[in-house]
Amino acid sequence: MSEGPDMSKKGSARFDTDLLREILEIFESSGVATLELETENFKIKLSKYTDASPPPIPSPIPVQTPPTEAEDERADQKEENFHYIRAPMVGTFYRAPAPGAEPFVKEGDRVKKGDVVCIIEAMKIMNEIKSDVDGVIEEVLVENAHPVEYGQPLFKVRPA
């Protein structure tokens, strides 16, 4: 941590060392790498890096793209011909029609094509998601009330 020469009193107010100690403690325990703070009475710049060691360069975050139909088919074949019910939109996944209600489906439940399996909320609209295959729910792949992306697998189904 380095305190540069920019830390100084401004104006005629007394410098609050207790406040500075509190700021330093919070800064040291946080994940923040640099901090610049200016008030009416002082200006401070803090950094967890020395001049000799520049901050690490963040690695790029890979962008996920929805799988193609060919990739879906290959994945299904590798998974013993399981079928995946996928999110047809971006939104928030809900397993039940209301908080505290029983989920539409659970692992081990039989579903028929057209049965409602979950709800995806998008733009304050509740969209019923229906099974596109007859079969047995092998696994629920998303936690309740978590966001989902377009094309993301929601349920692993063993076709009937």
Determine what percent of the chain is predicted with pLDDT higher than 70.
71
Global confidence as pTM: 0.52
Where are the domains positioned within the chain? 2-47, 69-159
Q: Which CATH fold topology does 69-159 show?
A: OB fold (Dihydrolipoamide Acetyltransferase, E2P) (2.40.50)
> Could you tell me which of 29, 28, 33 has the C-alpha nearest to residue 49?
33
pLDDT of residue 8: 47
**Higher-pLDDT residue of 25, 118:** 118
Confidence class of residue 102 from pLDDT cuts 50, 70 and 90?
Answer: very high
pLDDT score recorded for residue 34: 77
